Amino acid sequence: MAYNAPLKDMQFLLNEVFTAESMFSTMPATNEVTEDLMTAILEEAGKIAGKLLSPINQTGDKEGCSYRDGLVITPKGFREAYADYIEGGWSGLTGEPSYGGQGMPKVISALIEEMFFSANTSFCLYTVLTTGAALTINECASEKLKKIYLPKMYQGIWSGTMCLTESHAGTDLGMINTKAVPSEKDSYHISGTKIFITAGEHDLSENIVHLVLAKLPGAPAGPRGISLFLVPKILVNEDGSLGTRNNVVCGSIENKMGIKASATCVLHFQEATGFLIGELNNGLSNLFTMMNYERLSMGLQGNGLAESSYQIALEYASERLQGRAAKGPQLVDKEADPILVHPDVRRMLLTMKVNIIAGRALSLYSSFHLDISRLHPDEHVRERSKKLVSLLVPVQKAYCSDRGFEACVLGQQVLGGHGYAAEWGLEQNVRDARIAQIYEGANGIQALDLMGRKTVRTGGEQFNLLMKEMEEFLASQKDNIDMKPYLAKFFEVKLLLVETTKLVIEKSSNNPDEVGAASYPYMELMGLTLYCFMWQRIILSAIESKKRSTDTQDYYDGLIKNGRFFLDKLLPKSLSLGEEIKAGADSLMSVTADQF
């Protein structure tokens, strides 16, 4: 089934819920981004997703990448699609204009990424790594490195990766062994092996720019001793032309459950020439510039595959005839009714839909604050949004990818046996979505980061900023009769989140295990509360737009009903999450190792 970009839903969120144009007008870097420009960009991106990327999705999965003697060949059609992608200028969409980028905000690229992840996740992964690597170079590298590498990366002629972990280290990057030894001409010799490197080797671009974490001899132990280096696959001459091959070798590609057309590589750096990005021993901090963008992308991957699964499942449920409606036949001239009449099928489809819409809204909300944190002229406003981004990104990454995988499984269930067979594409979506919960920091790590570093250790400082945003919304609508039944449920779940936050902060002062024990249900509760916050804003905009509209009232009425389903059927899960958090760490940690 071909993917169709949900442009109407996206434009509703952009223009009516978040009033993007007015927000962009407050920042000099984005004040030329109009509603018409955003519409044109999204429409064109939708065509690329549906007509260029979607047709090679299943074939790419079936063929996969091939590896031979250090070289990686992407599936049939990928090279041609990539050539069209870079010819259209998409690689430099959010790039710095002074180096050839187009300067578009993350908010726009977030929606485009969702479309591309929906249509062809493996292909999209090659592109988002380049965007993130270019951002880090622009934010942290020397002027010399920027001038050499950014123009070609914005053109898509050169691509990018990030090389973090090693086989023994996992998420604990302080344990990495890759070494950097000072060499001539302000360069370093980089030696070590990195694993799980997405797009580490391929045949789409003429050069690959690796961002590599390594340690100098005598560097401080742990994360404080990590530096960040730019290591090109092919060295670049003084005049900007390509020179000799660097000592970077792809040792193998992973045989994976999903994203089979995306090359996940083992890379060996054998005294490869590298160049320092930023300050020595500050590499992890500098790389988090890229990491926040990539984590946001992983939430978008989950949401994109959920949208793809929803489209397949809805079409199937609308056409598949089986059984009769409980209130009597709906299609009297047929031997059965479409399965869409059955309450349980509706439960699955509506669960998928309301989480997709809320996840898309949360991704945009996070992206807006990411743009503000970088581009707003007021330093105080930038700093406030930076703190909110720090809190929001782990939730957006984990909660959206969890709900995304869940939606793919629900879509598969709607199709029954056909969902388990390959031809419909649902089983591929399930496989492709699973990795988003694991890479760029597994979701359990995101939850621990949220609960520990971002909440308990700060005494709730960032959390209080988010609560203030919610409180301001509640205050602005206190006299709105139309919103009264919806606001009451939002107030209740917000209150529960505040109470559990205070409880964990208090209990953790005497027992540090309380942080880890509460972290995952706390992330789920915050994600559910944020989805509720997004639905409040969506319902409000739909009510207002419905009053003004004459020909699209049914669309807005549908959104209001979708919001009611979320509040009635999904939000009550907050109560069980609250109880799980309040139960504390004892029952979890009292079990000894030999009792497992």
Q: Are 215 and 180 in contact (CB under 8 A)?
A: yes
Give the type of residue at 114. E
b/e string for 276-312 if b means 16 or more Cβ within 10 A? bbbeebebbebbebbbbbbbbbbbbbbbbbbbbbbbb
Q: Which residue, 564, 561, 544, 555, is CA-closest to 480?
A: 544
User: Taking the CA of residue 49 as centre, how many other CA atoms within 13 Å lie in the half-sphere pointing to its CB?
Assistant: 26
**Is residue 343 helix, strand or coil?**
helix
Q: Which entry of 114, 440, 514, 524 is annotated as an active-site residue?
A: 440
- For the record, the structure tokens of 188 come out as 């370093």
Residue owning tokens 């902060």: 505
- For the record, the structure tokens of 257 come out as 């459950």
Give CA–CA dist 35/22, Å, rounded. 9
* The Cα angle at residue 373 between residues 369 and 377, in degrees rounded to 5: 120
Q: Are 309 and 352 in contact (CB under 8 A)?
A: yes
3-state secondary structure 432-464: HHHHHHCCCCCHHHHHHHHHHHHHHCCCCHHHH
Q: Are 122 and 61 in contact (CB under 8 A)?
A: yes
Cα 340 to the center of its chain, rounded Å: 30
Residues with Cβ < 8 Å from 134, sequence gap 6 or more? 95, 101, 149, 150, 153, 154, 160
Q: Which residue, 421, 419, 405, is CA-closest to 320?
A: 419
Q: Are 130 and 317 in contact (CB under 8 A)?
A: no
Where does 277-378 have alpha helices with state H? 283-319, 343-375
Active-site residue flag, 166:
no
Strand 234-236 and strand 226-232: the pairing is: unpaired
Dihedral sign for Cα atoms in the order 321, 327, 333, 335: positive
Q: What positions carry a catalytic annotation?
A: 440
